[in-house]
Structure 1
Amino acid sequence: MNITKPTLLLNEQKCRLNIEKMIARSKHLNSSLRPHFKTHQSKKVGEWFKEYGIDKCAVSSLEMAKYFYNAGWVDVTVAFPLNVLEYTTVNDLAGKIKLSLCIESLETVQLLNDFLEHPIGVFLKIDAGYHRTGLDAENFEKIEPILQALKSNPLITIKGFLQHAGHTYRAKGKKEINKIHAHTSEKMIRLKNHFQNQYPDLIISNGDTPTCSVSENFEHIDEMRPGNFVFYDVMQAEIGSCGYEDIAVAMACPVVAKHPDRNEVIIYGGAIHFSKDQIQKDGQTIYGLIAEPERKGWGQPKEGWFVKKLSQEHGTLHVPDQDFDSIKIGDLLYILPIHSCLTANLMSKYYTLDGEGIEMFRYQS
């Protein structure tokens, strides 16, 4: 493959191994796996899941649900608060697939009841500690009237409670991931138990890659909904969700300039390719790590090499003194992204190590 510009490479072997491992974990933990497809956003990668027997998924938008319906997925949860302005899309999809939506207010339920034409499942989106959005897991008085309003509509099946423990992404290792998981799980189980006599079929859906990758106690957690695990990234490796050898995507970027006076190398690859996600490590702000090239693909990060700054198209690398002269203008460097979800979304296409192009979902205007 002739790479001439920033190109997102996908190691199919590593990706498939990540899928296999998560399926094995879900079976070991006795928790149903509904992978979140917002990371890879690809019909092709979705087919790999089907090969392993996965027949349901989660997505982050109704438009993405349409994309995967067209790829043959007919059991789809939109794990994002319902946008009531998309009511025509809701009714179109609900008439074709087993669609589940997320709500978090009585006002949304009332609007949903006004326009809904076909059967759907509904999860209450719960905030069990991340504080991004969702209902307070301990506010039973607020949750009760929402459940009653949902129950009043014969087209709605109440599925249960859905949460995303996104604060695990700020954890400092497996011990802290497990502590967060225990805390959020306790809240979710207490919530389910409170309402289970009235609603005996409620399930708990848990959806973050760190806990699904490392935590062992999923008792009473009925569904796992991780997404990032399919590729992993630098952030996940640093917090202990995976090893660097598990990262299945890397950006190939051309070297376009060198500045010996400040030990900086400039690559064609900036914020429009990687986003501006970052980690702090050893007192440095890092926007990506440079991996050792291998005969086919990439290996571990190079010691002391990192992306120190991003602008729109430029990436500025720090390179150790002893390695600077080894870099030539026109070289291709493999950059491991901090956050593979945003990097993949920005690039909108992958290439396998064999040069096969893999298209992704793109929002329609």
Structure 2
Amino acid sequence: MNTPATLADPDTPFAVVDVHTMRRNIARLKDRADRLGVTLRPHVKTAKSLDVAAHLNSGTPCPVTVSTLAEAEAFADGGYTDITYAVGVEPRKLPRITALSRRGVTLRVLLDSAEQAAFVTEASRRAGIPLPAQIEIDCDGHRGGIRPGDPALVEIGRVLHDDGCLDGVLTHAGESYFARTAEDQCLAAKNERDTAVAAAERLRAAGLPVNTVSVGSTPTAHAADDLTGVTELRAGNYVFFDLVMAGLGVCRVEDIALSVVVTVIGHRPEHGWIMTDGGWMAMSRDRGTAAQAQDQGYGLVTDLAGRLIPGLVMTAASQEHGTLTARDGAALPRLPVGTRLRVLPNHACATAAQHRGYHTVDGTRPARPAPAIEAFWERVTGW
């Protein structure tokens, strides 16, 4: 009988998902959405994996959010037929959107201007298929969307409704990623809900139907305690979590399901450095914790079994080199060349995007001599 492969075997660097931790994260938010009485529409942009998505709803396709049409097409191929494409639509994307609609996929598009509404309705008329659209609402001055009181809201709604394309409204509390206390996150969640509901009520007051009132971000999804008037909740990062979310108090460090395995390749004792083969090509350039109370550099370091090594941080990165240093008076551990380590990411979405897939482990099982690899899950790439 062959010995199962372990994290000591594949060439480094490579991404790892602890499936036990991931499932716990998934169950936590699903239970919360059920208590709040709303549909959970996970955002698959973080994992971009049908294998990960299979754990979202006990193996049955559920409503999902995507950030690329490549994701929409891959998930449609996997049997997902209720999809929201939550990035502003532009004309050259419409043939692919229409093709998915012809396959029986309900693919909602997002827009925030009369110009976009006009080309969506024109494409709908040409195809003979209503293309459901949601109007993006700006709840906190972040990226796109229009304010609920903007006269353009009803104008856009009427253009869409006249061709059977108005589905509802969608907002995203992007500034919640800077809400550093539980109270601030609760306020962000309340503002997100109130803004979306106000926009929906304004459209309804103008005689326009609103089926969907969609809100969500990982911080607000975990902070919301009342979603009256909302129909669905979106979040994506929560499946893996990361150090930014831990820094906000949304999760604990031990809830981070994604890591990157790297190997020690050298030492610079005169600088207090341990060098690894995992640079920014493995971890990404994201420095999302730099503005938080505790800057985690490019990531915290664990041993191969996932146990944190006290005070050891990835503090610098070049393309294929990572630099580990000790902080807070910690002694630099003795880690010979060839030692394998795991690095927890600042931003799970960005780190995952550097890899073609995930080796999976179960962190509850004994790691002798190293955690066993259970499977390899591929990711969707491209746009």
Task: Say whether the fold is shared (TM-score over 0.5).
Answer: yes
Task: Provide structure 1 residue ranges, at least 5 long, that are not aligned to the other structure.
Answer: none
Q: Which moved more, 1:271-280 or 1:191-200?
A: 191-200
Q: How does 1:165-244 map to 2 (within 5 A)?
A: 165-197=173-205, 198-244=207-253
Counterparts of 2:221 and 2:295, CA distance in 1: 29
Aligned to 2:79: 72
Q: How many corresponding residue pairs?
A: 357
After superposition, the Cα gap between the structure-2 partners of 1:256 and 1:263, relative to the gap in structure 1 and judged at 3 Å, is same
Output one character per residue of 1:207-228: Cα deviation in whole Å (capped at 9) or x when no partner.
Answer: 2011112332222222101000
Q: Deviations over 1:273-321 (max 9, x none)?
A: 2211111256756111112543xxx14x433221111221111111257
Aligned in 2, Cα 1:88/1:248: closer, same or farther, shift over 3 Å?
same
The question of whether the paired residues in 2 share the 8 Å contact of 1:265 and 1:319 is answered with no
Say which SS state the counterpart of residue 229 (structure 1) adopts: helix
Q: How does 1:208-357 map to 2 (within 5 A)?
A: 208-278=217-287, 279-280=289-290, 284=295, 286-294=297-305, 298-299=306-307, 301-320=308-327, 323-353=331-361, 354-355=372-373, 356-357=375-376
Tell me the equivalent position of 1:149. 159
- Aligned partner of 2:14 in structure 1 is 7
1:54 and 1:224, CA in 2 relative to 1: closer, same or farther beyond 3 A? farther
2:160 is paired with a residue whose SS is: helix
Mapped contact 2:173–2:216 kept (Cα < 8 A): yes
Aligned to 2:378: 359
CA distance in 1, matches of 2:141, 2:282: 27
Deviation string, structure 1 residues 106-140 (Cα, Å, up to 9, x no partner) = 1111112222212232110111114211222331x
**Closer, same or farther in 2 for the Cα pair 1:184/1:216, shift >3 Å?**
same
Q: Deviations over 1:153-191 (max 9, x none)?
A: 13x2x2211111111112212222112222232222222
Letter aligned with residue 184 of structure 1: E
Question: Equivalent residue of 2:15, what SS?
Answer: strand
- Whose strand proportion is higher, 1 or 2? 1
Q: Is the 8 Å Cα contact of residues 213 and 229 (structure 1) preserved in structure 2?
A: no
Residues 285/12 of structure 1: CA separation in 2 closer, same or farther (3 Å cut): closer
**TM-score of the aligned structures, taking structure 2 as reference length:** 0.88
* Structure 2 contact 311–330 (Cα < 8 Å) conserved: no
Report the counterpart of residue 133 of structure 2 in structure 1.
Answer: 122
SS in 1 for 2:235: coil
Identify the residue that residue 144 of structure 2 maps to in structure 1: 133
**Higher helix proportion, which one?**
1
Residue in 2 that maps onto 1:17: 24
Distance 2:333 2:56 in 1: 44
Is the CA contact 1:213–1:242 (under 8 Å) kept in the aligned structure 2?
Answer: no
2:107 to 99, 111, 114: 99
Q: Which moved more, 1:55-64 or 1:110-119?
A: 110-119
Q: 1:271 to 1:130 in 2, by over 3 A?
A: farther
Task: Measure the CA separation in 1 of the matches of 2:15 and 2:324.
Answer: 18
Matches of 1:327 and 1:277, distance apart in 2: 26
Deviates more, 1:98-107 or 1:348-357: 348-357
Matches of 2:97 and 2:226, distance apart in 1: 35
Instruction: Please state whether the residue corresponding to 2:208 is helix, strand or coil.
Output: coil
Structure 1 pair 333/92, CA: closer, same or farther in 2 (3 Å)? same
Contact 1:34 1:58 (8 Å CA) reproduced: yes
Equivalent residues of 1:130, 1:164 under 8 A apart: no
Identify which of 24, 40, 46 aligns with 1:39.
46
Measure, in 1, the Cα distance between the counterparts of 2:263 and 2:173: 37
List structure 1 runs of 4+ shifted beyond 6 angstroms.
none
Deviations 1:252-277 (A, max 9, x none): 11111111112111111111222111
TM-score (norm 1): 0.92
CA contact (8 A) 2:61 2:79 kept: no
Deviation for aligned residue 1:325 = 4.4
Paired residue for 1:82, among 83, 89, 112?
89
Where 1:85 maps in the other structure, the secondary structure is helix
Fraction of identical pairs, as percent: 25
What is the RMSD computed on CA atoms of the aligned residues? 1.8
